Amino acid sequence: MLVHSKAINKLAPSDYAMIEKEHQQLEKYLADLRDACACSLLPDSDGPACSKEQQTSCQGRMPSFLFHIIDLAGRHFDHEESIMLSRPNISENNDYFRVHRQAHLDIMKTLQGLADNYFDVTEKSGAAEVYRLFYEKIAGIFDEHDRQFDDPFIESTKQKSVEPNNN
């Protein structure tokens, strides 16, 4: 999300405020996820450095993190699509909009898959490793989305020339 934080200041003030607030929430979520399990912050060693109680606590908290990111991302994507549709020459039939919306749907499917498969992954990897893996996966998903879609769209809001309509 930090990838395009400078570019979003070219949006309408209300759109900018909404996107900036949501990006701050997503950044806070990622920091909270990264730091939530003390065991996951410890360097890998020959065995678990945390007690069984600490591991259990970490394991019990993960589902709420997963469902929270699904809620945050879903609301953010809805807002982002509304902003896109408010731009001149952008409609639901626009090729770029359709591909961007599909990317949102794919991310939501991936996040839901993480939630659905959480217990299977935890049994194989342990709670601390799951926090590390999920943090890396979720951060990577959003960073890649920013590079592929959000940055180019936000940059397009700066252009003054009329772009061809891809309807």
Q: How do residues 51-62 score in pLDDT, each as one tens digit?
A: 888 888 888 888
Reply yes or no on whether the pLDDT at 94 is more than 60.
yes
**pTM for this one?**
0.75
Taking the C-alpha atoms of residue 135 and residue 31, their distance in angstroms, rounded to an integer, is 9
* pLDDT recorded at residue 159: 52
Residue 10 falls in which region: left (phi positive, over 0), alpha (psi -120 to 50) or beta: alpha
Q: Span 85-96, mean pLDDT? A: 86
Q: How do residues 114-140 score in pLDDT, each as one tens digit?
A: 888 887 777 777 777 888 888 999 999
Residue type, 7: A
Reply yes or no on whether the pLDDT at 81 is more than 60.
yes
Q: How far is C-alpha 18 from the chain's CA centre? A: 16
Q: Which helix (H) or strand (E) holds 33?
A: helix 13-36
